[in-house]
Every structure is written in C-alpha cells, then in structure tokens.
Amino acid sequence: MTSLLALGPDALADFVVERGGQRFHAKALRRNVVARGVLDYEAMTDLPASLRARLAEDLPIFAGRLDAVSEARDGTRKLLLSFPRGRSAEDRLAVETVHIPPHKPLDGDGDPRGATLCVSSQAGCPVGCPFCASGLLGLERNLEHHEILEQFLRGRDLGALRRVVVMGIGEPLLNLENLERALDAVRDEMGLGARKITVSTVGFPGRLRRLAESSPRFQLAISLHTPFQEERDHLVPAMAGVPVEDVLAAGDHWFETTGREVTYEYVLLGGVNDTPRHAEALTDRLRGRRCGVNLIPYNPTPELPYARPTSGDPEAFQEFLRGRGVVATIRWSRGLDGAAACGQLRLDAAGR
C-alpha cells in the first residue's frame, strides 16, 4: 500500500480523483499534512467528508509505523519507527528519530525557541565505524525521501522545532538524492531553512566539493574524530585511504563557496583519541582554518569496547584547543536514561 507522503503531486491528484475528489484537493491534502501538521483526515475540514472517509480507508498518511517512544527524565523523546523492508507488511526495518527539548524550559506555555530534532538518513549504516551502534549491522537500505520527511513531521508533532540535525542512523551523503528531496520539502513546505538544518557526514571530499557548488540546503558538520591518518582509517573504515588533509581541504572549499563555516565533530573515546598528543596534532591541523570543533564525549554502547573519557578530560581537551585559537564546544549527550545513545534503541528492538 502506498502513502500520502510517498505520492508526487500528479499521482496524488489521480488518487484523489479516483475516489471522487477534485484534483485541487491533492494540494490541500499535502498542505494540511506538510505545512500545517494536520496528521488526521478527520481534522481536515477544508475537504469533503466523503473524500476524507475514503482516504482514511485507502491512503495512510505515512508509510512508517510508530513502534515505541522512550522518554528520558530531561524530556528527550526517542521515536522508534519501522518501515516495510519489502512487500510483506510484517518484514520491517527499524529507524530512530530523537526529539530534544531546549535545556531550560520556561514556565508557562513552553519554550518559544523550540526543540532540536535528530533524524536518520538510512536504515543501518555502511560506513562501519567500530564505536557506533548504527554501523554494527551494516546498511539495510536507503530511506526513501518520504520516509525521511515523515521523521520531520512526526517530530514536529511532538513540539515546535527550532533546529534539525541529520545525525541519526546512516551516512547522509550516501543517500543524497532522497535526503535533498526531503530537505526541499522541509524548506519550501515546512518553512525550515538551510541555516536551521545541519547534516553530519564522514566527509567524502569529491561529493562535498560538488555539493558546495550547488547552493546546499544545510549547514555542514564533518565527523573527523582524529588528526592521525592511520587512526582515522581505522575509526572511519569507509574513508580508509582518503587523506585527512583532503577532507579538511574540502571543508575549506565549503566555507569559501557557501560562506558557512564547517563544524568538525570529534567523538572523545576514553584512552583512544583523547590524549594530549591528539589535542596537539588536532590543533596543528585546524589552526588558522575558519571552522569549529564539537567534542562529543562517547556514549557507551554495551556491545562495543569503547569507553567514555574520564571526567574532566573533555574540558581539558577543549581548553587545550581554545588556548591555541581553535574554537571548540562540548556536546554533552541528552536523554541517556532513555537509551538515547546513537543507535541503541534500534539494537534493543533487533533483540541484540
């Protein structure tokens, strides 16, 4: 069975006409769902009741199913969605989306700044970073454009969005066509522009250079994780053999072409890449470049042999960089008690 979000404008209009509606009803349907966030046919009172009743039977709004929601004490909610893998409705792929409310909710009607939403671009991930739960099972398949858009819509349904990060499961640059189609809808129909959307990637230089030339619809974050070539070849296996310097040069080109600075993400793995030697070499690589570093203390995953840095290490690492003129922030993870470490909920669901 298809879904409303999966149908392009013409196909949706055909579908509506076959069920006794007018072609222009298709536009109203899409506007209700994507622009206005009305996710229930009953509530679409600008459409004839008979058409709404037919559609409620024949056309689910989303292709995905919401299988579980886990909520952490700080209000972070993780949605476990599943999509059909093939033809059988029971054979399904799990994907996660995380809704992170602002740090300090205001008294009263909630915070006007809105939440951050983290969406996934693929089911599983082909890159295979040894510290990441998403890579453990490899790639299952690319998400379709409407499956990516569905995450934005379900996320917004939990509360207004201030910012979106494509930092969930998967490597966005390996599913670029679907991602861009989804982001077009996010910008043009949901009204969230490029400055509010950050895409995180391991940074394929050729793709980044091409993208930078095409007025990209997002801000860029590149997962660097180490200044050392050999270590990066190990920590980011799909990038093995790609010189770290080429990745940084693609980041420079991105800034020169788009005018937007790149953020380098650096997962701090205790005792692995958080030593003073790393801080020094990273500084040498980045000093003088227009960019920032986002340090991410590792969220331990039970199956994997990596640890959080010891308390105080992230700050010391940050101070070292800052002291030498490299802009650095720390991203403390949210919602740990809700199993919100990257990829974990999906592994639980897969019975691992």
Region of 5-13, 153-161, 164-172, 251-259 interacting with ligand SF4 (CB under 6 A): 164-172
Q: How far is the CB of 266 from ligand SF4 (least distance, A)?
A: 12
Distance CA 80, CA 66 (A): 6
Using a 10 angstrom Cβ sphere, with 0-12 exposed, 13-18 middle and 19 or more buried, the burial of residue 122 is buried
Residue 258 contact partner, candidates ligand SF4, ligand SAH, none, CB within 5 to 8 A by sort of partner: none
Could you tell me if 114 and 127 are in contact, meaning their C-beta atoms sit under 8 angstroms apart? no
Q: Which of 32, 82, 223, 226 touches ligand SAH by CB under 6 A?
A: 223
Q: Of all residues in this chain, which one has the CB nearest to ligand SF4 in the complex?
A: 135
Which of positions 101-130 make contact with ligand SF4 (CB under 6 A)? 125, 127-129
Residue 167 contact partner, candidates ligand SAH, ligand SF4, none, CB within 5 to 8 A by sort of partner: ligand SAH
**By CB under 6 A, residue 140 contacts ligand SF4:** no
Tell me, what amino acid is at 315?
A: E
Q: Which letter does DSSP use for residue 186 in this model?
A: I
**Which residue from 154, 148, 169, 160 is spatially nearest to 196, judged by alpha carbons?**
160
Cα end-to-end distance, the chain, whole Å: 30
**By CB under 6 A, residue 299 contacts ligand SAH:** yes
**By CB under 6 A, residue 273 contacts ligand SAH:** no
Q: Hey, which bits of 101-214 come out as E strands?
A: 115-118, 122-124, 139-142, 161-166, 197-201
**By CB under 6 A, residue 345 contacts ligand SF4:** no
Q: Which is nearer to ligand SF4, 125 or 182 (CB)?
A: 125
**By CB under 6 A, residue 176 contacts ligand SAH:** no
Q: How far is the CB of 132 from ligand SF4 (least distance, A)?
A: 3
Q: Which of 298, 321, 334, 338 touches ligand SAH by CB under 6 A?
A: 298
Could you tell me if 102 and 74 are in contact, meaning their C-beta atoms sit under 8 angstroms apart? no
Residue 299 contact partner, candidates ligand SAH, ligand SF4, none, CB within 5 to 8 A by sort of partner: ligand SAH
Structure token digits, residue 257: 């072409």
Rg (CA), the chain: 21
Provide φ and ψ at 25, rounded to 5°.
Answer: -65, -25
Angle at which helix 313-323 crosses helix 276-286, to 10 degrees, equals 30
Which of positions 4-23 make contact with ligand SAH (CB under 6 A)? none
CA 15 from chain center: how many Å?
A: 31
**By CB under 6 A, residue 274 contacts ligand SAH:** no
**By CB under 6 A, residue 76 contacts ligand SAH:** no
**By CB under 6 A, residue 83 contacts ligand SAH:** no
Could you tell me if 197 and 164 are in contact, meaning their C-beta atoms sit under 8 angstroms apart? yes
Q: Which of 59, 148, 161, 167 touches ligand SAH by CB under 6 A?
A: 167
Q: Which of 93, 143, 326, 341 touches ligand SAH by CB under 6 A?
A: 341
Neighbouring C-beta atoms of residue 102, cutoff 10 Å? 17
Q: Would you tell me which residues interact with ligand SAH (CB under 6 A)?
A: 125, 131-132, 167, 171, 200-202, 223, 265, 267, 296, 298-299, 301, 341-342
Residues that bind ligand SF4 (CB under 6 A): 125, 127-129, 132, 134-135, 169-171, 202
